[in-house]
A and B are shown apart, each in its own frame.
Chain A
């Protein structure tokens, strides 16, 4: 198994997932790159911590946002199909809906489930379901979009932020789009609005919302939308939207930026064009668009690696997967969610309808400290099963005797492989050298030699290089 193969596979799993342990990487490499991509694109045998086990322990799961979102954290940490969860996170960022307005955790969890269910399928189906999603309806006021008295909010964001992008439609298109979605609302809208706006649990807890179509409130008149004329309803509007070249460009570009690089350079434009082609060839299948991306030479290139700052959720979930934590329900899971929140990415609470600002904006003085502390604590803990697996591997190297340089190189390899600058490597090696060679043979669990490894792993997790995917 070549180090190049391992490095490439590690890159794929950082981007299409949340990173991978060495055992997982070796299995993926044995499977082959293209076959692994196909497995990621066709999720099955997920193996994640089951919902019922989580709900038995966290009895209020779904009823308030924090406990609801830890369910998703467990899923991201334990799934064997990480692309599905990564894409769900992507859709959550793109179709950003916040808890703060409806105060409806169950409904928001249902929205995440909708994103997951349609994550890799037809973009057309996803947009239809998005338009029927009660959390989105309430978030963008489509419950106030009536025949004869339109509210443009959803129609506008559907075009601007969710599908085509600014400059590709007219103000008249916005109005006509809104007309097409009149009558698309939530059931018991008056009662649900009263409860939502008051954040009322009383008397019997939340009542989850459901979509309702009210024919009498739908404007069934003729509309001209994006150059086509007819008595369009919402599904017709989506059909027209997904046929637009601008939509193919928009969604391909956003996927490229999320999975590959913040900026689309000249070479990147060629990949985007291939993704656009796959979008139309496949009938708008996201799975096919991503296949074009992940198998492109650009995505596999050295240039693409470690070129994106890990988003907070990527960082905390990746650290937890590496350490092997949270395989069973525990109150400690709150620390994972809280960690991401303190780093600037509160699941279920994006800052506004345009989602989170990705890229370098994740890093500032305060968030860097949170990121470093979280990762170092998680990965420096020698009691965690994933870290013990790393120590076991180190023990088999040279009969468990490692010079400071060897120890640093092996740990960098097992945590990535993670390339670091000479300066970083020298700094790590100097620190380890203070106590000479490491002798792991005959080590005691949690003893001094293991703690030295844990300390080094924590230091590596605190390096600037570890912040990148």
Chain B
């Protein structure tokens, strides 16, 4: 399944898949990703991917050139990551990476140099308990999802605490283990309210504006949404994590389409099979989208057995050209789509 346009005005076209699992065991091994959880694109179009296993930030481009990595290896020292969760660039190409183990935000330049950090564990103003999603507004203010405190905190780009909103609950403005976050062209903030199965929209000072979605697997319903991105026209792209799909809603929350994934072999994967025909040849004779027996007929199990489908889409990112990048933590890759 690919796209299901609900209107004539919105559609997405699959572009390509980039990535594969990186080589090596616990060490770090060159080209590839390993459980990627966050992605963002620098102003020069380079793609930065942060990995949860074989921890590091990888750099590549749309031509599938692997350009290097930094922050390699697990640790809590300056410039190291322990359990990275998400990342985002500010307007000056400074990359901010959240880490739910160290409860802080680390800052790097595009060459991987460590620039600074903020955050400590706690529930006071500016303190963090499991930071996850992060995004910037037009004035370079950072919004950080503070998952275990069930709130969002707003900082200056240097980490000065500005304000916060949210508390545990399922009412308007309340949150339950929120995860990803997006900001629209008007600096409104959208939060993936993960365990409430909805997206909530707030003003930049935290005033509740709207809520989209409810629990379920139908159009416009969510099952543990992990991330949200908003384009210049207000379309919301939601990583509907447990439904193993991406949904697009318009600015009023009206369902537009869903993506289930249509991954093809990346260049790196092609290279792998060329070098390993003992796997490539039987793969070419295989049915890679099998039907499931009833007890495994769920999006999760279907994704685990079908290579082309999204498996745990964890991050949605839009670049300056309006391309959509869907990062799949379990398939060690991202799929790229283009609005048409």
| Interface of A toward B, CB cutoff 8 Å | 52-53, 55-57, 59-60, 62-63, 106, 110, 114, 117, 187-188, 190-191, 193-195, 198, 200-212, 331
Contacts and interface: CB of A to CB of B under 8 A. Distances in A.
Interface stretch (B153-161, B248-256, B275-283): B275-283
Closest 10 pairs between A and B when the two form their complex, measured CB to CB:
A203-B269, A203-B20, A190-B282, A188-B286, A191-B282, A208-B304, A191-B286, A204-B331, A208-B305, A59-B35
Given A201-B21, A203-B268, A59 B37 contact: yes
19 contacts: A52-B224, A56-B177, A60-B53, A110-B296, A188-B286, A190-B286, A191-B282, A200-B279, A202-B21, A202-B272, A202-B276, A203-B21, A203-B265, A203-B269, A204-B263, A205-B330, A208-B301, A210-B290, A212-B290
B226 to A, nearest CB: 8
A207 B282 contact: no
A204 B307 contact: yes
Given A194-B278, A205-B311, 14 more contacts: A57-B83, A59-B37, A59-B329, A59-B330, A62-B304, A191-B285, A191-B286, A202-B269, A202-B276, A203-B20, A204-B20, A205-B330, A207-B306, A331-B101
Interface string B309-340: 00110100000000000000111110000000
B242 interface: yes
Chain B: interface secondary structure?
loop
B273 interface: yes
A206 B330 CA distance: 9
Interface of B: 20-21, 23, 35, 37, 52-53, 83, 100-101, 177, 179, 194, 224, 226, 242, 263, 265-266, 268-269, 272-273, 276, 278-279, 282-283, 285-288, 290, 292-293, 295-296, 301, 304-307, 311-312, 314, 329-333
A210 B305 contact: yes
A62 B20 CA distance: 18
A205 B21 contact: yes
A204 B53 contact: no
B52 A60 contact: yes
B293 A210 contact: yes
A188 B21 contact: no
B282 A194 contact: yes
A217 B224 CA distance: 42
A192 B128 CA distance: 44
Contacts of A63: 35, 330
A190 B37 CA distance: 32
A117 B293 CA distance: 14
Contacts of A207: 288, 304-307
B305 A198 contact: no
Given A52-B224, A208-B304, A210-B296, A187 B331 contact: no
Nearest to A190: B282
A206 B35 CA distance: 12
Contacts, number: 107
Given A190-B286, A210-B305, A204 B224 contact: no
A190 B283 CA distance: 8
B21 A204 contact: yes
A198 B277 CA distance: 13
A187 B314 CA distance: 28
Residue from B269, B305, B314, B333 having most chain A Cβ neighbours under 10 A: B305
A253 B221 CA distance: 50
A284 B263 CA distance: 46
A63 B332 CA distance: 12
A57 B312 CA distance: 13
B331 A205 contact: yes
A42 to B, nearest CB: 20
B333 A204 contact: yes
Nearest to A328: B148
Contacts of B273: 203
Contacts of A57: 83, 100
Given A60-B52, A195-B279, A203-B269, A210 B292 contact: yes
A208 B303 CA distance: 9
B191 to A, nearest CB: 15
A457 B48 CA distance: 50
Contacts of A206: 304
A203 B177 CA distance: 32
Contact of A59 (B23, B53, B276): B53
Contacts of A56: 177, 179, 194, 224, 226
A436 B79 CA distance: 51
A210 B282 CA distance: 16
A208 B304 CA distance: 6
Contacts of B290: 187-188, 210, 212
B285 A190 contact: yes
B266 A117 contact: no
A202 B293 CA distance: 25
A204 B287 contact: no
B80 to A, nearest CB: 15
A356 to B, nearest CB: 27
B127 to A, nearest CB: 18
A110 B292 CA distance: 13
A361 B228 CA distance: 54
B36 to A, nearest CB: 9
Contacts of A60: 35, 52-53, 330
A198 B52 contact: no
Contacts of A210: 290, 292-293, 296, 305
Residue from B37, B285, B329 having most chain A Cβ neighbours under 10 A: B329
A39 B145 CA distance: 41
Contacts of B224: 52, 56
Contacts of B295: 114, 117
Contacts of B287: 187-188
A125 to B, nearest CB: 12
Contacts of B37: 59
Contacts of B312: 55, 59
Nearest to B329: A59
A52 to B, nearest CB: 5
Nearest to B100: A57
Nearest to A211: B293
A330 to B, nearest CB: 10
Nearest to A62: B304
Contacts of B265: 203
Contacts of A191: 279, 282-283, 285-286
A114 B179 CA distance: 31
B85 to A, nearest CB: 9
A203 B226 CA distance: 24
Nearest to B306: A207
A204 B296 CA distance: 20
Contacts of B276: 200, 202
Contacts of B279: 191, 194-195, 198, 200, 202
A308 B294 CA distance: 39
A207 B304 CA distance: 6
A203 B272 contact: yes
Contacts of A203: 20-21, 265-266, 268-269, 272-273, 332-333
Contacts of B35: 59-60, 63
A391 to B, nearest CB: 25
A18 B304 CA distance: 32
